[in-house]
Amino acid sequence: MEKVYETLKKCGVYYLATVEGDTPHVRPFGALALFEGKVYIQTGKVKAVAHQLKANPKIEIAGMFKGGWVRISAEAVLDERIEAQEAMLDANPGIRNMYKAGDGNTEVYYLQNGTMQVFGREETENIRF
């Protein structure tokens, strides 16, 4: 999972795809944390993406970094623990002006049952997690 985290971190901004009914939705994300050996993403409970994740936790992520790009397919699992929310906020202090652990709006999800494909100029890499 550390490799997944480090690869996404290199992207800075990555794009999260969800689905609602038969309509795909893609939006930029940046918050990311490695907590208890799992990669976490974050959103607000009131946002459409949170509702989409609850209805269908299957996601894809795509991002670019110098020399390559990454595609991840996984399930996003809600972790309601305050400790997980704090870890996310500690790793991304810039979002503390919008979110607080335990505020009833902050939601963090860890990725599981996934694959990561990294495409570089010279090679490709496939990781299952």
Q: What is the pLDDT of residues 11-66, one digit of tens each?
A: 999 999 999 999 999 999 999 999 999 999 999 999 999 999 999 999 999 999 99
Q: Where are the beta strands (DSSP E) in 12-105?
A: 14-20, 23-29, 33-35, 38-44, 58-65, 68-79
Domain regions of the chain by residue span: 2-128
Question: Has residue 70 got a pLDDT over 80?
Answer: yes
CATH number of 2-128: 2.30.110.10
Give the contacts of 8 (CB within 8 A, at least 6 positions apart). 14, 32, 39, 61, 63, 70, 72
Q: Say which residue the tokens 């010279």 belong to.
A: 122
Q: Contact, 53 vs 109, CB < 8 A?
A: yes
Residues 114, 102: Cα–Cα separation, whole Å: 28
